[in-house]
Chains A and B, each alone.
Chain A
């Protein structure tokens, strides 16, 4: 059988964005895969070196498009570490609420896109419609639906308006009711069991060595979550469970883990945990200031040093490495996106031997987001 070269190109509904996979196939099986990115490269890190510390805040949130708040959070934490600022407690609670709502929205989008790759087109319509109600909450709180520019180094930009806790509670109860419908359509569907179990397996003993993080790692059986390992904001005061294989709640365990089935079930259960975190944070939130009084931002100078801060996003571990030499502009900011390892090396390895019809499903279950890879 001759080998056939294919490009699953940038213009394709089966890739998770603007990237390309170069495949060599033999009959129906993929024998080799190469990832080709760079279609979204804006040179962020170069742009950030010529702007001051505060001017980078609107730039930073545009790195990860489906979930921009984690970038703002990690950047703000790194700058606060260099400048040695202490964030007021009310601001930390508001940050937790914003991050968890962003996580719910990103997981809904990922579940919807995954179902679309299987051919179950009802779920993208539902999931993206429900995600819009969360974007309405963001619009009331920050003024914009997608790019919020709300988490600043030192706190949050303004306080929560009156009536927002009621709106959040109403949206969360609505989403809880809708999740039962999603279970019937996707997660307890015979099609899902047959098509997703045992597909796209990451070998368990190699997962950490390959740099897999986030829900993909927890689906392999390791219960590692940055919110528990290195707690930031007020996650150490909130009670939540880390969802990992094989504790899959009410859902059946039909495989050995690390496959597309387990990854999607982990994401579905993390939505439940996030809803519980937001409710606890709303109850426990104290009164107080929402931002520290910092000096005029035109004159910020960060002391020299190296700071690394990590945040748990819905896709994995986001890291920011910020280097300063004491001046008003950064020397180097390096962003580590979770899809850097998932989309390039892990995908190239696990696509070998896969069936052609499963390539799209594997990429969506890994939740590869191309702007993370190339910033």
Chain B
């Protein structure tokens, strides 16, 4: 069997069984329980919640991120095994959203983590969330969802940006 055929089969298996990490990072998490439960059932696509990052495929950034949460999200993202995908909800990770002048929220997510799919809205409806999941499955099928490779390739740039955010623009904190 050729290498490309094996990749295709592994991508089919991957997109039919995406496990979503259970992490409610922001206010967009209120529209996630309707997607997970019986009304908008996401389990018919093979997606289910998973408690530990070691066995999850998709990280959902539901809404805004504060600096304190970003530290833990980066930790969680680095604990997940490749291939891994990131979906961001809402308008806050795109350009700051409603809290554009806040001193504690991180404005643009793609400077700190590689994002595969963005969902617009404040908050996105469950139908919008389902659409994003299906779009992610399409991208996986075509081989275009490569966020984790980008993170490995530009690792120093991502780390530099994250450190600048954690220190609020100042110098390195001792014991941070």
Contacts and interface: CB of A to CB of B under 8 A. Distances in A.
Interface in A5-38: 9-13, 17-18, 38
Interface string B53-69: 10000000000101011
B30 A11 contact: no
Contacts of A238: none
A9 B69 CA distance: 11
Contacts of A65: 27, 29-30
Interface centre among B24, B34, B39, B66 (most CB of A within 10 A): B24
A59 B98 contact: yes
B44 to A, nearest CB: 13
B37 A18 contact: no
Interface stretch (B99-107, B110-118, B133-141, B162-170): B99-107
B12 interface: no
A146 B69 contact: no
Contact of B24 (A18, A47, A125, A147): A18
Contacts of A126: 38
A38 B68 contact: yes
B68 A39 contact: yes
A46 interface: yes
Nearest to B64: A42
A56 to B, nearest CB: 11
B175 to A, nearest CB: 16
B104 A42 contact: yes
Contact of B69 (A10, A59, A109): A10
A11 B76 contact: yes
Nearest 6 interchain pairs by C-beta: A128-B37, A129-B38, A11-B23, A39-B69, A125-B37, A129-B39
Interface of B: 21-27, 29-31, 33-34, 36-39, 49, 51, 53, 64, 66, 68-69, 72, 76, 98-99, 101-105, 122-123, 125
29 contacts: A10-B23, A10-B69, A10-B72, A11-B23, A11-B53, A12-B51, A13-B22, A13-B49, A18-B69, A38-B66, A39-B68, A39-B69, A40-B66, A41-B68, A42-B64, A42-B102, A43-B99, A43-B104, A46-B103, A47-B99, A59-B98, A62-B27, A65-B29, A109-B33, A124-B33, A125-B38, A129-B39, A145-B125, A146-B123
